[in-house]
Structure 1
Amino acid sequence: MARLFVAVLPPPPVLEHVDRALVLARAGTAADEGQGPVRWTPAADRHLTLAFYGGVPDGLELEFVEALAGVAAVTPSFGLALRGSGLFDRRTLWIGCGGDVAAMTALTERTTAVGADLLGRTDDRVRHRAHLTVGRVRDQARRSASRRREAPGVVQVQTLAHALAVYSGPAWTVDAFHLLRSELGAGPGGAALHSVVETFALGAVAG
């Protein structure tokens, strides 16, 4: 059984632009690499999740590929840009999306429906706001926040979210999405390792 999800992968120049913005925004904060209070998402793992399917029996993987290919065939390419920033639950720092967010939302709904059809269950997490996760406060740092007013990691991501609120990255055309496998604990530092199972090219630009 494999843990599968669907995502849009921003192209390297877009991710590099985010990295430069993070470097500038973090210039006045502690450089918490390694075991610091914030765990930064490696650039190679940054993605815009469309649907998370969780554990999928091996015999169903081909059915997912076929269903998602059908979604891609009827979905036109569309434009996006990474824009703005914020926090989830005071611990997860994200970069948001601008551009044709309605098309992104529609694609999210279609790919989520594939999981509901094939697995008989849906992802309970509401994905109404496409976002790129760039960092999370480590659990230990988060627990310390309950014992004192503000933990260093919490303060850092709050500061960065404020600094990046006006962030605006380069636009690009979303012309594909990807089915990925997630292996818990197999990545650097015990993080999840993500690998592409299949890539689905979108239909031609509308009009």
Structure 2
Amino acid sequence: MRVFVALRPAPSALAHLDAALEDVRAGAGLALRWTDPAQWHLTLSFRPDLPAGALEDALHDLAAIAARHRPPTLQLSGAGVFDARTLWIGVGGETAPLAALMGEPLLEGEGRERRRAHLTVARVSARAPRAPRRRRRGDPPPPDPTRLLLADAVRALSVYRGPSWEATELELVSSALGEGRSGGPLHEVLATVPLG
């Protein structure tokens, strides 16, 4: 099963971000597919191949790790792009305790992935404009309108700083591809474990 470990920002932090994204959403038109704010979270560790029989052990290990880390005070801050397709919001505040937590084996296994803590807000849509084809050999490639759009979004959100909140628990979440809103993933919280 596909699972990940997440921190859920406080509702006030999520509402603040939702309001801050209004202009970026308006400028993107149909080129970006926006994620469901009800499913927004900070991904700390992802594992696409956890055997169903290993879920109880993974939860036990996660609870033991979480107990060793105090709750950090965080804020949503800045933005970036993964793989020229995914727009994300970063994290500020007490990032050293967050980095220590992310340095732990939150989800063991060969399929485990780690990236920086982030909150995915949009992905490139199938309706996104495509770069025009080159007309003559030797001409430089024309600019990709989707990359330009993402660069504009990152530039607009680079100064974003949301309100602080204390992260008090971790969530273990399953992710079912194609079963969520507009064909996106459906996330289900399997369990929560307290920090500290």
TM class, shorter-length: 0.7 to 0.9
Counterpart position of 1:69: 63
Counterpart position of 2:78: 84
CA distance in 1 between counterparts of 2:48 and 2:61 reads: 17
C-alpha offsets along residues 26-78 of structure 1, whole Å, 9 cap, x if unaligned? 45x25x2xxx2211111122211111121222211110111111011111111
Aligned 1:117-156 pairs, distance under 5 A:
119=109, 121-123=110-112, 125-127=113-115, 129-139=116-126, 141=128, 144-145=130-131, 147=133, 149-156=142-149
Counterpart position of 2:15: 16
Given candidates 30, 35, 43, the residue that maps to 1:41 is 35
Structure 1's 73 and 24: CA in aligned 2 closer, same or farther, altered over 3 A?
same
Counterpart AA for 2:172: L
The structure with the largest helix share of the pair is 1
Name structure 2 gaps, 5 residues minimum.
Answer: 135-141
Are the equivalent residues in 2 in contact too, given 1:90–1:158 (CA < 8 A)?
no
CA distance in 2 between counterparts of 1:4 and 1:156 reads: 30
CA distance in 1 between counterparts of 2:92 and 2:123 reads: 22
Are the equivalent residues in 1 in contact too, given 2:88–2:118 (CA < 8 A)?
yes
Compute the TM-score of the two structures, normalised by the length of structure 1.
Answer: 0.83
Counterpart position of 2:92: 98
Structure 1's 69 and 169: CA in aligned 2 closer, same or farther, altered over 3 A?
same
Compute the TM-score of the two structures, normalised by the length of structure 2.
Answer: 0.87
The structure with the largest strand share of the pair is 1
Q: CA deviation at 1:131?
A: 1.6
Are the equivalent residues in 2 in contact too, given 1:84–1:165 (CA < 8 A)?
yes
CA distance in 2 between counterparts of 1:25 and 1:114 reads: 33
SS in 1 for 2:78: strand
Mean CA deviation greater in 73-82 or 85-94: 85-94
Name structure 1 gaps, 5 residues minimum.
Answer: none
CA distance in 1 between counterparts of 2:39 and 2:66 reads: 22
Are the equivalent residues in 2 in contact too, given 1:93–1:135 (CA < 8 A)?
yes
CA distance in 1 between counterparts of 2:34 and 2:126 reads: 13
> Over aligned residue pairs, what C-alpha RMSD do you find?
2.0
Q: CA deviation at 1:190?
A: 1.3
Counterpart AA for 1:145: A
Q: How many residue pairs end up in the alignment?
A: 189
